[in-house]
Amino acid sequence: MQWTDLPNAQIFQQVMFIFGIAMGAVLIIQILMMLFGLGHDTTFDHDGHFDHDGGDMFNHDGAAAFGMRMLSVRSIIAFLGVGSWVCFTLLYYWPIWGAVLMAVAAGLAAAAAMAFALTAIQKLQNSGNVSMENALGKSGEVYLRIPGTRGGSGKIQVMVQERMREYDALTDADRLLKTGEKVKVTAIVDDNTVLVEPI
């Protein structure tokens, strides 16, 4: 008798099938929304809070790898969707431990690919004719909360050259700048990061 002949195995495989369909459908919708510039991603902090992000993938450096943000709703959906389908398929041929291990590996690869794609899209969106220098002195709003004393980066939205732009942001303030708080851009840190202070 093969493992897949057992009732519990069949139930587990059916769960993977249903999960794969659901996550796959959501993933396709997310990709289409991402390509057409619609919707926002959700990012998770280390302390369990979450925020919304329009294309980048996490709030703190500890969740990033190789310049890509790996912990986000889209990346998690990619992990679950691809992992479920791989597990479902391999259960026909492999023992459960092998199928699960390969599913985890495939899911991680899918999450990394999604993070890479989102990072590339954000860089493309932030490029163009808008000069960051024109953001100096502008007032904006915190989009992803910014840890104080440059303890990590967050995000702000600011109107530059009649276009709403989104930049990574640091602050020298001695407190956390919360989402929705008004800030002023005081310096340019790099090609996608600004220094802000609360207003």
pLDDT value for 58: 37
**Which H/E stretch holds residue 195?**
strand 193-198
d(CA 177, CA 182): 9
**Which residue, among 40, 21, 36, has the nearest Cα to 144 in the 3D structure?**
40
Half-sphere exposure in the Cβ direction for 153 (13 Å, CA): 21
pLDDT value for 64: 45
The phi, psi pair for 15, rounded to 5°, reads: -60, -45
- Compute, in degrees rounded to 10, the torsion defined by CA atoms 190, 158, 198, 169: -30
Left if phi > 0, otherwise alpha if psi is -120 to 50, otherwise beta: which for 61?
alpha
pLDDT value for 35: 65
CATH superfamily of 132-198: Nucleic acid-binding proteins (2.40.50.140)
pLDDT value for 65: 43
Residue found under tokens 């587990």: 12
Q: Return per-residue pLDDT of the chain as tens, 199 residues.
A: 344 444 566 788 888 888 888 888 887 887 777 666 554 444 444 444 444 444 443 333 334 444 445 457 778 888 888 988 898 888 888 888 888 899 999 989 988 888 888 777 766 665 555 677 888 999 999 988 999 999 999 999 898 877 788 899 999 999 999 999 999 999 999 888 999 999 8
d(CA 126, CA 131): 10
**The pTM is what?**
0.46
d(CA 114, CA 108): 10
pLDDT value for 45: 47
pLDDT value for 183: 95
Quick one: 39 exposed, middle or buried, by C-beta within 10 A (0-12, 13-18, 19+)?
middle
**Which residue, among 18, 24, 25, 16, has the nearest Cα to 88 in the 3D structure?**
16
Q: Where are the domains of the chain?
A: 3-126, 132-198
Which CA distances in Å does 190 have to 104, 120, 155, 176?
A: 36, 17, 14, 21
d(CA 69, CA 159): 25
